[in-house]
Amino acid sequence: MTKLLDAFKKRQSAMLDLLTALVERESFTREKDSVDRLVDFLEARFHSLSPSSVQRFPQSDVGDFLLAKWNETAPGNPFLILAHGDTVHPTGALSSMPIRIEDGRFYGPGALDMKAGIVIALEAIRALQQSGQLPPRPIHFLLNTDEEIGSPHSEALIKDLAADCELALVMEPATKEGAIKTWRKGGGKYTLTIDGRAAHAGIAPQEGINAIIEFAQQALEINKLNDLKYGTSVSITLVEGGSAGNVIPAQVRAHIDTRVMTMSAMEDLQAALTNLYPKMPGAKVCCVRGHQRPPMERRPGLFEKVAEIGERQGLTLYEGGTGGGSDGNFTAAMGIPTLDGLGAHGDGAHAPHEHVIIDSLPRQATLIAAILREWALGD
Ligand SMILES: [Zn+2]
């Protein structure tokens, strides 16, 4: 066992205390006041680690964002640590899924996704700083609070910070198998609107244009865009239409969720979905793209480099990927080397059995500290 891992193992209970404090501060994305209480707590925590600066970005719709910088004036491109403070669990979830430790696992809402990731990154910085081993490079740590809704408010700030960074470290949980995420699918949301014409279903059905019948035909066409073998999925996930039981429906609205492995698949899908033509005379079909995250395509050589760093600490690393998106999708699509899934190991993100495998806390802190210390050596 190496010294770094030994030192972090001694910090395991301190890390669990911090994790408990973060999980106790429930932070559902849509509840700004409670998210801001977590942000207040973390702001103080950042200050306790003697950063060069801590900036708070006030938000009106979601919790405020925090940006802490160490070695602000050091030369070289910064490391960018990305973490989100929000969770998908509404306030009160703690009462139905209370914090508990069982069989080496820490249970609690948001523990895995990704409060443990925040703990790991803070602990890595603390240890490097106390031992005088922070790299002679700027380290930027961004905490946003809207990741679980696709980061609509923080996307611009993330991109701005990523533009000149050396490496983006995303503190999302590892895969269920404990692997680093080197690829993620991208995704886009679409809204399909079909307009027909209302008519009395008994007196004059022939005067109507049935938007549901038009939708049914479009749905079958849209379903054909699935190409699961190449990682493309197109799912109609929500439908609303019609106005009353005796009225030919004048309108249908549907939501479409798309996931892709590559930028080119994303562009092909967009072309197909925004060029749907009506099947029925007089019907109107309109499909509009909403929020979109580009895919994080696997970058050759990146995993190999981090695996070597891990190996020197006695850690064997694995790589994997996922269909879900993260803020790493934004940075990777900009061409910035991005390592994702660097947070805790565990299972049940977004679910009632969400938990962290406790001994992954010192393990991942070792990895983050080693990456920060050694990534740019020899540059
Ligand atoms: Zn997350």
Tens digit of pLDDT for each residue in 169-186?
A: 999 999 999 999 999 999
All CATH 3.30.70.360 domain ranges in the chain, comma separated:
186-293
Q: What is the pLDDT of residue 259?
A: 95
Ligand 1 centre distance from Cα of residue 234 (Å): 23
- pLDDT at position 291, please? 86
Measure 83 CA to ligand 1 centroid, in angstroms.
8
Residues paired with 189 in a beta bridge: 257
Ramachandran assignment for 209, one of left (phi > 0), alpha (psi -120 to 50 degrees), beta (any other): beta
Report the separation in Å between the CA atom of 98 and the middle of ligand 1, taken as the mean of its atom positions: 20
Gap between the Cα atoms of 31 and 53, Å rounded: 27
Q: Say how many Å lie between the CA of residue 197 and the centre of ligand 1.
A: 43
Q: Which residues of the chain have a pLDDT value below 50?
A: none
pLDDT in tens, 321-345: 999 899 999 999 999 999 999 999 9
- The reported pLDDT for the residue numbered 379 is 60
Cα-to-centroid distance, 148 and ligand 1 (Å): 7
CB 43 within 8 A of CB 56: yes
Distance in Å, CA 300 to ligand 1 centroid: 24
**What's the CATH architecture for 3-184+296-374?**
3-Layer(aba) Sandwich (3.40)
Instruction: CATH 3.40.630.10 in the chain: give the residue spans.
Output: 3-184+296-374
Query: Residue 3's pLDDT is what?
Result: 85
- Where on the phi/psi map is residue 231: left (φ > 0), alpha (ψ -120 to 50), or beta? left
Find the 114 Cα to ligand 1 centroid distance in Å: 5
Cα separation, 164 vs 167, in Å, equals 9
CATH number of 186-293: 3.30.70.360
Parallel/antiparallel/unpaired status of strands 338-339 and 167-170: parallel
Given strand 338-339, what is the order of strands in its sheet? 53-57, 65-70, 139-144, 79-84, 167-170, 338-339
pLDDT of residue 378: 63
For residue 172, report the distance from its CA to the centre of ligand 1, in Å.
Answer: 5
How far, in Å, is the centroid of ligand 1 from the Cα of 326? 7
Instruction: Report the alpha-carbon distance of residue 309 to residue 143 in Å, rounded.
Output: 25
Quote the ligand 1 centre to 216 CA distance (angstroms).
35
Q: Contact at 8 Å (CB) between 129 and 301?
A: no
How far, in Å, from the CA of 208 to the mean position of ligand 1?
47
Please tell me the pTM assigned to this model.
0.88
Helix (H, G, I), strand (E, B) or coil at 301: coil
Q: Which pLDDT score is estimated for 2? A: 64
Which residue(s) pair with 251 in the sheet? 195
Q: Are strands 346-347 and 355-357 parallel, antiparallel or unpaired?
A: antiparallel
Residue type, 321: G
